[in-house]
Structure 1
Amino acid sequence: MPLVPTADLVARAAAEHGCVTAFNVITLEHAEGIVTGAEAADRPVILQISENAVRYHGGRLTPLALAASSIAQTATVDVALHLDHVTDIGLLHQAADNFSSVMFDAGALPYADNLAATASAARWAHTAGLWIEAELGYVGGKPDSPASAHAEGVRTDPAEAADYVARTGVDALAVAVGSSHAMTERSAVLDHTLIARLRETVPVPLVLHGSSGVPDAELRAAVLAGMVKINIGTALNISLTHTVRDVLLSKPALTDPRTYLGPARDAVAMTVRDVLTVLAT
Protein backbone atom coordinates (compact mmCIF):
# COMPACT_ATOMS: atom_id res chain seq x y z
CA MET A 1 0.00 0.00 0.00
CA PRO A 2 1.17 3.61 -0.51
CA LEU A 3 3.30 5.35 2.09
CA VAL A 4 1.29 7.33 4.62
CA PRO A 5 2.50 10.78 5.72
CA THR A 6 4.00 10.87 9.20
CA ALA A 7 1.73 13.83 9.97
CA ASP A 8 -1.34 11.66 9.39
CA LEU A 9 -0.15 8.85 11.68
CA VAL A 10 0.78 11.29 14.45
CA ALA A 11 -2.50 13.20 14.14
CA ARG A 12 -4.48 9.96 14.26
CA ALA A 13 -2.61 8.79 17.35
CA ALA A 14 -3.15 12.13 19.08
CA ALA A 15 -6.86 12.10 18.28
CA GLU A 16 -7.15 8.61 19.76
CA HIS A 17 -5.11 9.59 22.87
CA GLY A 18 -2.62 6.90 21.91
CA CYS A 19 0.76 6.81 20.21
CA VAL A 20 2.53 5.85 17.02
CA THR A 21 5.92 4.14 17.24
CA ALA A 22 8.94 4.98 15.11
CA PHE A 23 11.69 2.37 14.72
CA ASN A 24 15.24 3.05 13.52
CA VAL A 25 16.38 1.52 10.24
CA ILE A 26 20.08 0.83 9.76
CA THR A 27 20.06 -2.15 7.40
CA LEU A 28 17.64 -3.79 4.99
CA GLU A 29 17.00 -6.43 7.67
CA HIS A 30 15.86 -3.72 10.08
CA ALA A 31 13.31 -2.40 7.60
CA GLU A 32 12.01 -5.86 6.73
CA GLY A 33 11.80 -6.90 10.38
CA ILE A 34 10.03 -3.70 11.44
CA VAL A 35 7.35 -4.04 8.78
CA THR A 36 6.86 -7.76 9.52
CA GLY A 37 6.49 -7.00 13.23
CA ALA A 38 4.03 -4.19 12.55
CA GLU A 39 1.94 -6.50 10.39
CA ALA A 40 1.95 -9.15 13.14
CA ALA A 41 0.69 -6.56 15.63
CA ASP A 42 -1.64 -5.00 13.04
CA ARG A 43 -0.40 -1.54 13.96
CA PRO A 44 0.85 1.43 11.91
CA VAL A 45 4.54 2.22 12.14
CA ILE A 46 7.14 4.81 11.18
CA LEU A 47 10.41 3.74 9.60
CA GLN A 48 13.04 6.29 10.53
CA ILE A 49 16.56 6.67 9.17
CA SER A 50 18.98 8.73 11.26
CA GLU A 51 21.87 10.87 10.19
CA ASN A 52 24.14 8.34 11.91
CA ALA A 53 22.72 5.56 9.73
CA VAL A 54 23.33 7.66 6.63
CA ARG A 55 26.91 8.23 7.76
CA TYR A 56 27.32 4.46 8.20
CA HIS A 57 26.26 4.04 4.57
CA GLY A 58 29.00 6.36 3.37
CA GLY A 59 26.82 9.46 3.43
CA ARG A 60 24.47 7.99 0.83
CA LEU A 61 20.86 8.51 1.88
CA THR A 62 19.00 7.58 -1.28
CA PRO A 63 19.75 3.82 -1.51
CA LEU A 64 18.57 3.09 2.04
CA ALA A 65 15.61 5.45 1.71
CA LEU A 66 14.45 3.82 -1.51
CA ALA A 67 14.86 0.34 -0.02
CA ALA A 68 12.86 1.27 3.08
CA SER A 69 10.21 2.93 0.94
CA SER A 70 9.90 -0.12 -1.28
CA ILE A 71 9.48 -2.43 1.71
CA ALA A 72 6.93 -0.07 3.25
CA GLN A 73 4.84 -0.13 0.10
CA THR A 74 4.48 -3.92 0.34
CA ALA A 75 3.08 -3.66 3.89
CA THR A 76 -0.48 -4.50 4.86
CA VAL A 77 -0.42 -1.78 7.55
CA ASP A 78 0.14 1.97 7.30
CA VAL A 79 3.84 2.90 7.15
CA ALA A 80 5.50 6.33 7.07
CA LEU A 81 9.11 7.25 6.32
CA HIS A 82 10.95 9.75 8.56
CA LEU A 83 14.48 11.23 8.48
CA ASP A 84 15.76 11.46 12.06
CA HIS A 85 18.27 13.50 14.10
CA VAL A 86 19.47 15.65 11.21
CA THR A 87 22.11 18.23 12.04
CA ASP A 88 23.55 18.70 8.54
CA ILE A 89 21.68 21.23 6.39
CA GLY A 90 22.69 19.44 3.20
CA LEU A 91 21.12 16.22 4.48
CA LEU A 92 18.05 18.12 5.65
CA HIS A 93 17.53 19.38 2.10
CA GLN A 94 17.56 15.80 0.78
CA ALA A 95 14.56 14.89 2.95
CA ALA A 96 11.98 16.12 0.44
CA ASP A 97 13.10 13.54 -2.12
CA ASN A 98 11.80 10.45 -0.28
CA PHE A 99 10.41 11.42 3.12
CA SER A 100 7.24 13.03 4.48
CA SER A 101 8.90 14.23 7.69
CA VAL A 102 12.21 15.11 9.30
CA MET A 103 13.57 15.66 12.79
CA PHE A 104 16.01 18.58 12.87
CA ASP A 105 18.32 18.31 15.87
CA ALA A 106 19.85 21.52 17.17
CA GLY A 107 19.39 20.37 20.75
CA ALA A 108 23.08 20.66 21.63
CA LEU A 109 23.10 24.39 20.90
CA PRO A 110 22.36 27.17 23.39
CA TYR A 111 18.67 28.05 23.45
CA ALA A 112 18.87 31.15 21.22
CA ASP A 113 20.99 29.34 18.61
CA ASN A 114 18.76 26.24 18.73
CA LEU A 115 15.71 28.43 18.23
CA ALA A 116 17.19 30.34 15.28
CA ALA A 117 18.51 27.24 13.51
CA THR A 118 15.29 25.30 14.02
CA ALA A 119 13.07 28.17 12.89
CA SER A 120 15.08 28.36 9.66
CA ALA A 121 14.85 24.58 9.20
CA ALA A 122 11.09 24.65 9.84
CA ARG A 123 10.51 27.39 7.29
CA TRP A 124 12.38 25.36 4.68
CA ALA A 125 10.62 22.11 5.65
CA HIS A 126 7.15 23.60 5.40
CA THR A 127 7.97 25.13 2.02
CA ALA A 128 9.03 21.63 0.92
CA GLY A 129 5.83 20.09 2.27
CA LEU A 130 7.52 18.29 5.18
CA TRP A 131 6.28 17.79 8.74
CA ILE A 132 9.13 18.72 11.11
CA GLU A 133 10.07 17.58 14.62
CA ALA A 134 12.67 19.26 16.82
CA GLU A 135 14.17 18.75 20.27
CA LEU A 136 14.40 20.94 23.36
CA GLY A 137 16.28 19.82 26.45
CA TYR A 138 19.00 17.17 26.55
CA VAL A 139 17.87 13.59 26.07
CA GLY A 140 20.64 11.50 27.62
CA GLY A 141 22.97 9.18 25.78
CA LYS A 142 24.16 11.46 22.98
CA PRO A 143 27.89 12.30 22.81
CA ASP A 144 27.28 15.99 23.53
CA SER A 145 24.72 15.49 26.29
CA PRO A 146 25.28 15.65 30.07
CA ALA A 147 26.41 12.52 31.87
CA SER A 148 22.91 11.71 33.06
CA ALA A 149 19.35 12.22 31.89
CA HIS A 150 18.71 13.17 35.52
CA ALA A 151 21.37 15.91 35.72
CA GLU A 152 20.22 19.33 36.86
CA GLY A 153 18.92 21.54 34.08
CA VAL A 154 18.61 18.91 31.34
CA ARG A 155 14.83 18.42 31.52
CA THR A 156 12.60 20.36 29.14
CA ASP A 157 11.01 23.40 30.76
CA PRO A 158 7.28 23.72 29.83
CA ALA A 159 7.24 27.52 29.51
CA GLU A 160 10.40 27.52 27.43
CA ALA A 161 9.00 24.70 25.29
CA ALA A 162 5.83 26.68 24.55
CA ASP A 163 7.91 29.70 23.55
CA TYR A 164 10.16 27.52 21.41
CA VAL A 165 7.28 25.93 19.51
CA ALA A 166 5.57 29.27 18.94
CA ARG A 167 8.74 30.89 17.60
CA THR A 168 10.02 28.00 15.49
CA GLY A 169 6.73 26.70 14.07
CA VAL A 170 7.70 23.05 14.44
CA ASP A 171 5.03 20.35 14.19
CA ALA A 172 6.20 18.12 17.07
CA LEU A 173 8.62 18.40 19.96
CA ALA A 174 11.00 15.80 21.38
CA VAL A 175 11.38 16.48 25.08
CA ALA A 176 13.79 15.46 27.84
CA VAL A 177 11.84 13.76 30.62
CA GLY A 178 14.29 11.13 31.91
CA SER A 179 15.03 8.79 29.00
CA SER A 180 18.43 8.22 27.38
CA HIS A 181 19.55 7.12 23.96
CA ALA A 182 21.41 3.82 23.53
CA MET A 183 20.32 2.27 26.83
CA THR A 184 20.82 -1.50 26.87
CA GLU A 185 18.90 -2.03 30.13
CA ARG A 186 15.26 -1.09 30.59
CA SER A 187 15.67 0.89 33.78
CA ALA A 188 14.77 4.48 32.85
CA VAL A 189 12.36 6.28 35.16
CA LEU A 190 10.37 9.04 33.48
CA ASP A 191 8.96 12.22 34.98
CA HIS A 192 5.28 11.69 34.23
CA THR A 193 4.26 14.87 36.01
CA LEU A 194 6.52 16.84 33.70
CA ILE A 195 5.10 15.02 30.64
CA ALA A 196 1.58 16.04 31.71
CA ARG A 197 2.66 19.66 32.22
CA LEU A 198 4.31 19.71 28.80
CA ARG A 199 1.18 18.24 27.21
CA GLU A 200 -0.91 21.03 28.77
CA THR A 201 1.53 23.77 27.76
CA VAL A 202 2.87 22.72 24.36
CA PRO A 203 0.38 22.87 21.46
CA VAL A 204 2.06 20.19 19.31
CA PRO A 205 2.52 16.42 19.81
CA LEU A 206 5.27 15.31 22.19
CA VAL A 207 7.94 12.80 21.19
CA LEU A 208 9.87 10.42 23.45
CA HIS A 209 13.40 9.61 22.32
CA GLY A 210 15.51 6.91 23.96
CA SER A 211 12.51 4.68 24.56
CA SER A 212 14.41 1.38 24.36
CA GLY A 213 15.54 1.84 27.95
CA VAL A 214 12.04 2.51 29.27
CA PRO A 215 10.12 -0.40 30.90
CA ASP A 216 6.70 -1.36 29.55
CA ALA A 217 4.73 0.16 32.42
CA GLU A 218 6.68 3.42 32.13
CA LEU A 219 6.03 3.57 28.38
CA ARG A 220 2.31 3.03 28.83
CA ALA A 221 2.21 5.69 31.54
CA ALA A 222 4.11 8.11 29.31
CA VAL A 223 1.51 7.69 26.57
CA LEU A 224 -1.31 8.23 29.06
CA ALA A 225 0.47 11.35 30.29
CA GLY A 226 0.73 12.77 26.78
CA MET A 227 3.49 11.25 24.64
CA VAL A 228 2.32 10.71 21.05
CA LYS A 229 5.38 9.53 19.09
CA ILE A 230 7.64 6.88 20.66
CA ASN A 231 11.11 6.29 19.18
CA ILE A 232 12.77 2.85 19.45
CA GLY A 233 16.22 1.97 18.14
CA THR A 234 18.61 0.21 20.48
CA ALA A 235 16.13 -2.54 21.37
CA LEU A 236 16.17 -3.68 17.75
CA ASN A 237 19.96 -3.70 17.64
CA ILE A 238 20.10 -5.77 20.80
CA SER A 239 17.74 -8.37 19.31
CA LEU A 240 19.58 -8.45 15.99
CA THR A 241 23.08 -8.63 17.46
CA HIS A 242 22.30 -11.20 20.13
CA THR A 243 20.74 -13.46 17.51
CA VAL A 244 23.69 -13.17 15.13
CA ARG A 245 26.09 -13.88 18.00
CA ASP A 246 24.11 -16.92 19.17
CA VAL A 247 23.93 -18.43 15.68
CA LEU A 248 27.64 -17.94 14.97
CA LEU A 249 28.66 -19.27 18.37
CA SER A 250 26.59 -22.40 17.83
CA LYS A 251 27.86 -22.89 14.25
CA PRO A 252 31.22 -21.12 13.89
CA ALA A 253 31.86 -22.57 10.43
CA LEU A 254 28.93 -20.68 8.88
CA THR A 255 29.82 -18.26 6.11
CA ASP A 256 26.50 -17.59 4.36
CA PRO A 257 25.13 -14.35 5.90
CA ARG A 258 21.57 -15.48 5.24
CA THR A 259 21.97 -18.19 7.88
CA TYR A 260 22.42 -15.62 10.65
CA LEU A 261 20.83 -12.45 9.24
CA GLY A 262 17.56 -14.28 8.57
CA PRO A 263 17.04 -15.26 12.22
CA ALA A 264 18.25 -11.80 13.25
CA ARG A 265 15.61 -10.20 11.05
CA ASP A 266 13.00 -12.47 12.66
CA ALA A 267 14.19 -11.34 16.10
CA VAL A 268 13.76 -7.70 15.10
CA ALA A 269 10.22 -8.50 13.94
CA MET A 270 9.37 -10.14 17.27
CA THR A 271 10.73 -7.16 19.21
CA VAL A 272 8.67 -4.76 17.11
CA ARG A 273 5.54 -6.88 17.52
CA ASP A 274 6.02 -7.01 21.29
CA VAL A 275 6.59 -3.24 21.61
CA LEU A 276 3.56 -2.42 19.49
CA THR A 277 1.41 -4.86 21.43
CA VAL A 278 2.45 -3.27 24.73
CA LEU A 279 1.71 0.23 23.46
CA ALA A 280 -1.67 -0.80 22.07
CA THR A 281 -2.92 -1.91 25.50
Structure 2
Amino acid sequence: MSLVSTGDLVAQAAAEGRAVAAFNVITLEYAEAIIAGAEAADRPVILQISENAVRYHASKVEPLARAAAEVARLSRTDVALHLDHVTDVALLRQAADSGFSSAMYDAGALPFAENLEATAAAAQWAHAAGLWLEAELGYVGGKPDMPTSAHAAGVRTDPDEAADYVRRTGVDALAVAVGSSHAMTERSASLDHGLIERLHKAVPVPLVLHGSSGVRDEELRAAVRAGMTKINIGTALNVAFTTAVRRTLRDDPAMTDPRAYFSPARDAMASTVRDLLFAFDA
Protein backbone atom coordinates (compact mmCIF):
# COMPACT_ATOMS: atom_id res chain seq x y z
CA MET A 1 0.00 0.00 0.00
CA SER A 2 1.28 3.48 -0.81
CA LEU A 3 0.66 6.52 -2.98
CA VAL A 4 -1.88 5.73 -5.72
CA SER A 5 -3.94 7.77 -8.17
CA THR A 6 -7.20 9.48 -7.27
CA GLY A 7 -8.79 8.24 -10.47
CA ASP A 8 -8.08 4.62 -9.55
CA LEU A 9 -9.51 5.01 -6.03
CA VAL A 10 -12.66 6.73 -7.29
CA ALA A 11 -13.17 4.27 -10.15
CA GLN A 12 -12.85 1.31 -7.81
CA ALA A 13 -15.28 2.83 -5.32
CA ALA A 14 -17.79 3.57 -8.11
CA ALA A 15 -17.54 0.02 -9.46
CA GLU A 16 -18.22 -1.37 -5.97
CA GLY A 17 -21.08 1.02 -5.17
CA ARG A 18 -19.29 2.66 -2.27
CA ALA A 19 -17.50 5.96 -1.65
CA VAL A 20 -13.97 7.12 -0.98
CA ALA A 21 -13.31 9.95 1.48
CA ALA A 22 -11.15 12.98 0.71
CA PHE A 23 -9.89 14.95 3.71
CA ASN A 24 -8.39 18.44 3.64
CA VAL A 25 -4.72 18.87 4.55
CA ILE A 26 -3.56 22.19 6.02
CA THR A 27 -0.33 21.18 7.78
CA LEU A 28 1.82 18.05 7.99
CA GLU A 29 -0.04 17.04 11.17
CA TYR A 30 -3.26 16.84 9.13
CA ALA A 31 -1.70 14.43 6.64
CA GLU A 32 -0.32 12.28 9.44
CA ALA A 33 -3.67 12.23 11.24
CA ILE A 34 -5.70 11.42 8.13
CA ILE A 35 -3.46 8.50 7.25
CA ALA A 36 -3.44 7.23 10.85
CA GLY A 37 -7.24 7.30 10.86
CA ALA A 38 -7.42 5.56 7.48
CA GLU A 39 -5.04 2.86 8.65
CA ALA A 40 -7.11 2.33 11.82
CA ALA A 41 -10.24 1.96 9.66
CA ASP A 42 -8.39 -0.07 6.99
CA ARG A 43 -9.78 2.18 4.25
CA PRO A 44 -8.17 3.99 1.31
CA VAL A 45 -8.21 7.77 1.52
CA ILE A 46 -7.53 10.91 -0.49
CA LEU A 47 -5.39 13.72 0.90
CA GLN A 48 -6.50 17.00 -0.63
CA ILE A 49 -4.73 20.33 -0.46
CA SER A 50 -6.85 23.33 -1.37
CA GLU A 51 -5.85 26.57 -3.05
CA ASN A 52 -6.60 28.27 0.29
CA ALA A 53 -4.11 25.97 2.05
CA VAL A 54 -1.49 26.73 -0.60
CA ARG A 55 -2.10 30.45 -0.07
CA TYR A 56 -1.58 29.93 3.69
CA HIS A 57 1.83 28.42 2.91
CA ALA A 58 3.06 31.58 1.15
CA SER A 59 1.43 30.43 -2.11
CA LYS A 60 4.01 27.64 -2.46
CA VAL A 61 2.34 24.33 -3.22
CA GLU A 62 5.30 21.98 -3.46
CA PRO A 63 6.59 21.84 0.16
CA LEU A 64 3.28 20.68 1.68
CA ALA A 65 2.46 18.48 -1.31
CA ARG A 66 5.82 16.72 -1.18
CA ALA A 67 5.54 16.21 2.59
CA ALA A 68 2.02 14.78 2.27
CA ALA A 69 3.12 12.49 -0.56
CA GLU A 70 6.00 11.16 1.52
CA VAL A 71 3.70 10.36 4.44
CA ALA A 72 1.40 8.60 1.95
CA ARG A 73 4.24 6.50 0.56
CA LEU A 74 4.91 5.13 4.05
CA SER A 75 1.26 4.30 4.66
CA ARG A 76 -0.21 0.84 5.19
CA THR A 77 -3.25 1.80 3.12
CA ASP A 78 -3.78 3.28 -0.33
CA VAL A 79 -3.56 7.08 -0.38
CA ALA A 80 -4.03 9.56 -3.23
CA LEU A 81 -3.02 13.22 -3.45
CA HIS A 82 -5.52 15.76 -4.83
CA LEU A 83 -5.29 19.54 -5.43
CA ASP A 84 -8.66 20.99 -4.46
CA HIS A 85 -10.79 24.05 -5.33
CA VAL A 86 -8.30 25.55 -7.77
CA THR A 87 -9.37 28.82 -9.40
CA ASP A 88 -5.85 29.93 -10.40
CA VAL A 89 -4.85 28.31 -13.69
CA ALA A 90 -1.17 28.91 -12.88
CA LEU A 91 -1.57 26.80 -9.72
CA LEU A 92 -3.42 24.08 -11.64
CA ARG A 93 -0.49 23.84 -14.02
CA GLN A 94 1.84 23.08 -11.09
CA ALA A 95 -0.22 20.06 -10.01
CA ALA A 96 1.48 17.26 -11.93
CA ASP A 97 5.00 18.46 -11.15
CA SER A 98 4.12 18.73 -7.45
CA GLY A 99 3.08 15.08 -7.12
CA PHE A 100 -0.71 15.34 -7.48
CA SER A 101 -2.58 12.76 -9.55
CA SER A 102 -5.74 14.88 -9.69
CA ALA A 103 -7.19 18.33 -9.22
CA MET A 104 -10.55 20.02 -8.80
CA TYR A 105 -10.88 23.07 -11.05
CA ASP A 106 -13.47 25.43 -9.57
CA ALA A 107 -15.17 27.75 -12.05
CA GLY A 108 -18.43 27.48 -10.12
CA ALA A 109 -18.69 31.22 -9.47
CA LEU A 110 -18.85 31.94 -13.21
CA PRO A 111 -22.00 32.03 -15.36
CA PHE A 112 -22.72 28.67 -16.97
CA ALA A 113 -21.25 29.42 -20.40
CA GLU A 114 -18.03 30.84 -18.94
CA ASN A 115 -17.77 27.99 -16.42
CA LEU A 116 -18.13 25.49 -19.26
CA GLU A 117 -15.52 27.14 -21.46
CA ALA A 118 -12.96 27.53 -18.67
CA THR A 119 -13.49 24.02 -17.36
CA ALA A 120 -13.26 22.43 -20.79
CA ALA A 121 -9.89 24.14 -21.30
CA ALA A 122 -8.74 23.00 -17.84
CA ALA A 123 -9.80 19.42 -18.54
CA GLN A 124 -8.02 19.36 -21.89
CA TRP A 125 -4.82 20.57 -20.26
CA ALA A 126 -5.16 18.24 -17.27
CA HIS A 127 -5.67 15.14 -19.38
CA ALA A 128 -2.65 16.02 -21.52
CA ALA A 129 -0.66 16.25 -18.28
CA GLY A 130 -1.98 12.91 -17.03
CA LEU A 131 -4.26 14.38 -14.37
CA TRP A 132 -7.80 13.32 -13.41
CA LEU A 133 -9.99 16.43 -13.18
CA GLU A 134 -13.02 17.20 -11.01
CA ALA A 135 -15.27 20.22 -11.53
CA GLU A 136 -18.35 21.73 -9.87
CA LEU A 137 -21.76 22.72 -11.18
CA GLY A 138 -24.35 24.38 -8.96
CA TYR A 139 -23.72 26.24 -5.72
CA VAL A 140 -22.42 24.41 -2.65
CA GLY A 141 -23.00 26.83 0.25
CA GLY A 142 -20.42 28.40 2.50
CA LYS A 143 -18.18 30.13 -0.05
CA PRO A 144 -17.43 33.75 0.86
CA ASP A 145 -17.67 34.95 -2.74
CA MET A 146 -21.17 33.52 -3.18
CA PRO A 147 -23.38 34.33 -0.18
CA THR A 148 -26.53 32.62 -1.48
CA SER A 149 -27.85 29.86 0.80
CA ALA A 150 -27.38 26.31 -0.46
CA HIS A 151 -31.03 25.78 0.44
CA ALA A 152 -32.37 28.65 -1.69
CA ALA A 153 -34.35 27.93 -4.85
CA GLY A 154 -32.33 27.65 -8.03
CA VAL A 155 -28.92 26.80 -6.58
CA ARG A 156 -29.15 23.00 -6.82
CA THR A 157 -27.53 21.17 -9.72
CA ASP A 158 -29.91 20.33 -12.56
CA PRO A 159 -29.44 16.74 -13.87
CA ASP A 160 -29.95 17.57 -17.55
CA GLU A 161 -27.63 20.57 -17.36
CA ALA A 162 -25.07 18.47 -15.47
CA ALA A 163 -25.10 15.75 -18.11
CA ASP A 164 -24.58 18.34 -20.86
CA TYR A 165 -21.82 20.03 -18.85
CA VAL A 166 -19.89 16.79 -18.34
CA ARG A 167 -20.25 15.84 -22.01
CA ARG A 168 -19.00 19.24 -23.20
CA THR A 169 -16.17 19.68 -20.69
CA GLY A 170 -14.86 16.11 -20.53
CA VAL A 171 -14.32 16.22 -16.76
CA ASP A 172 -13.75 12.98 -14.83
CA ALA A 173 -15.99 13.73 -11.82
CA LEU A 174 -18.58 16.31 -10.89
CA ALA A 175 -19.20 18.04 -7.56
CA VAL A 176 -22.90 18.79 -7.28
CA ALA A 177 -25.08 21.02 -5.14
CA VAL A 178 -27.61 18.89 -3.25
CA GLY A 179 -27.97 20.72 0.08
CA SER A 180 -24.59 20.62 1.82
CA SER A 181 -22.50 23.70 2.70
CA HIS A 182 -18.81 24.32 3.23
CA ALA A 183 -17.47 25.26 6.69
CA MET A 184 -20.39 23.89 8.72
CA THR A 185 -19.45 23.21 12.35
CA GLU A 186 -22.77 21.51 13.15
CA ARG A 187 -24.03 18.41 11.36
CA SER A 188 -27.44 19.75 10.40
CA ALA A 189 -27.44 19.79 6.58
CA SER A 190 -30.35 18.07 4.87
CA LEU A 191 -29.49 16.48 1.53
CA ASP A 192 -31.84 16.01 -1.41
CA HIS A 193 -31.41 12.26 -1.93
CA GLY A 194 -33.94 12.15 -4.76
CA LEU A 195 -31.86 14.71 -6.64
CA ILE A 196 -28.71 12.68 -5.98
CA GLU A 197 -30.40 9.64 -7.54
CA ARG A 198 -31.47 11.65 -10.59
CA LEU A 199 -27.99 13.10 -11.00
CA HIS A 200 -26.44 9.64 -10.65
CA LYS A 201 -28.66 8.34 -13.46
CA ALA A 202 -28.06 11.34 -15.72
CA VAL A 203 -24.34 12.01 -15.22
CA PRO A 204 -21.85 9.47 -16.65
CA VAL A 205 -19.01 10.30 -14.21
CA PRO A 206 -18.69 9.89 -10.42
CA LEU A 207 -20.46 12.43 -8.22
CA VAL A 208 -18.69 14.35 -5.45
CA LEU A 209 -20.21 15.71 -2.24
CA HIS A 210 -18.53 18.86 -0.93
CA GLY A 211 -19.26 20.29 2.51
CA SER A 212 -19.71 16.85 4.09
CA SER A 213 -18.62 17.91 7.60
CA GLY A 214 -22.11 19.32 8.11
CA VAL A 215 -23.86 16.08 7.14
CA ARG A 216 -24.93 13.46 9.68
CA ASP A 217 -23.75 9.84 9.40
CA GLU A 218 -27.13 8.51 8.28
CA GLU A 219 -27.41 11.25 5.65
CA LEU A 220 -23.93 10.41 4.33
CA ARG A 221 -24.80 6.72 4.12
CA ALA A 222 -27.99 7.54 2.23
CA ALA A 223 -26.05 9.83 -0.12
CA VAL A 224 -23.61 7.03 -0.93
CA ARG A 225 -26.48 4.62 -1.58
CA ALA A 226 -28.07 7.23 -3.88
CA GLY A 227 -24.89 7.60 -5.93
CA MET A 228 -22.22 9.76 -4.28
CA THR A 229 -18.71 8.38 -4.82
CA LYS A 230 -16.25 10.95 -3.43
CA ILE A 231 -17.00 12.52 -0.05
CA ASN A 232 -15.05 15.71 0.84
CA ILE A 233 -14.43 16.52 4.52
CA GLY A 234 -12.51 19.45 5.96
CA THR A 235 -14.13 21.44 8.76
CA ALA A 236 -14.65 18.36 10.95
CA LEU A 237 -10.87 18.03 11.22
CA ASN A 238 -10.47 21.71 12.08
CA VAL A 239 -13.04 21.36 14.87
CA ALA A 240 -11.29 18.27 16.27
CA PHE A 241 -7.86 19.92 16.09
CA THR A 242 -8.89 23.22 17.64
CA THR A 243 -10.99 21.64 20.39
CA ALA A 244 -8.06 19.47 21.45
CA VAL A 245 -5.60 22.38 21.44
CA ARG A 246 -7.94 24.53 23.53
CA ARG A 247 -8.47 21.72 26.03
CA THR A 248 -4.75 21.04 26.39
CA LEU A 249 -3.83 24.71 26.86
CA ARG A 250 -6.71 25.25 29.27
CA ASP A 251 -5.45 22.36 31.41
CA ASP A 252 -1.87 23.68 31.33
CA PRO A 253 -1.80 27.45 30.62
CA ALA A 254 1.98 27.55 31.07
CA MET A 255 2.61 25.11 28.22
CA THR A 256 4.80 26.53 25.45
CA ASP A 257 6.03 23.47 23.50
CA PRO A 258 3.74 23.13 20.46
CA ARG A 259 4.50 19.41 20.27
CA ALA A 260 2.69 18.98 23.57
CA TYR A 261 -0.58 20.36 22.19
CA PHE A 262 -0.19 19.36 18.55
CA SER A 263 0.11 15.70 19.53
CA PRO A 264 -3.36 15.37 21.14
CA ALA A 265 -4.79 17.52 18.35
CA ARG A 266 -3.35 15.15 15.75
CA ASP A 267 -4.76 12.18 17.67
CA ALA A 268 -8.19 13.85 17.80
CA MET A 269 -8.18 14.33 14.03
CA ALA A 270 -7.13 10.71 13.49
CA SER A 271 -10.06 9.54 15.63
CA THR A 272 -12.43 11.76 13.66
CA VAL A 273 -11.17 10.34 10.37
CA ARG A 274 -11.50 6.76 11.61
CA ASP A 275 -15.04 7.31 12.91
CA LEU A 276 -16.20 8.99 9.70
CA LEU A 277 -14.73 6.26 7.53
CA PHE A 278 -16.52 3.62 9.58
CA ALA A 279 -19.75 5.65 9.65
CA PHE A 280 -20.50 6.61 6.09
CA ASP A 281 -19.86 3.23 4.50
CA ALA A 282 -21.50 1.16 7.25
What TM bracket, shorter-length normalisation?
over 0.9
Structure 1: distance between partners of 2:210 and 2:155: 14
The answer to whether the Cα contact below 8 Å between 2:173 and 2:206 also exists between their aligned partners in 1 is yes
Alignment of 1:1-281 (within 5 A): 1-97=1-97, 98-281=99-282
Structure 2: distance between partners of 1:142 and 1:148: 10
Structure 2: distance between partners of 1:24 and 1:169: 25
List per-residue Cα deviations over 1:57-109 (Å, max 9, x = no partner).
01010000000000001100000000000000100000011100000000000
Structure 1 residue 3 displacement after superposition: 1.0
The answer to whether the Cα contact below 8 Å between 1:19 and 1:230 also exists between their aligned partners in 2 is yes
Structure 1 residue 160 displacement after superposition: 0.3
Structure 2 gaps of 5+ residues are: none
What one-letter code is carried by the residue in structure 2 that aligns with 1:85? H
The answer to whether the Cα contact below 8 Å between 1:139 and 1:145 also exists between their aligned partners in 2 is no
List per-residue Cα deviations over 1:202-249 (Å, max 9, x = no partner).
000000000000000000000000000000000000000000001001
3-state SS of 1:222 partner: helix
1-10 or 104-113, larger mean C-alpha shift:
1-10
List per-residue Cα deviations over 1:15-70 (Å, max 9, x = no partner).
11000000000011100000000000000000000000000001010000000000
Q: Aligned pair count?
A: 281
What one-letter code is carried by the residue in structure 1 that aligns with 2:48? Q
The answer to whether the Cα contact below 8 Å between 1:186 and 1:215 also exists between their aligned partners in 2 is yes
3-state SS of 2:3 partner: coil
3-state SS of 2:23 partner: strand
Structure 1 residue 145 displacement after superposition: 2.2
Structure 1 gaps of 5+ residues are: none
Structure 1: distance between partners of 2:80 and 2:72: 8
3-state SS of 1:204 partner: coil
Structure 1 residue 2 displacement after superposition: 3.4
**Percent identity between the aligned chains?**
73
Structure 1 residue 148 displacement after superposition: 1.1
Structure 1 residue 144 displacement after superposition: 1.9
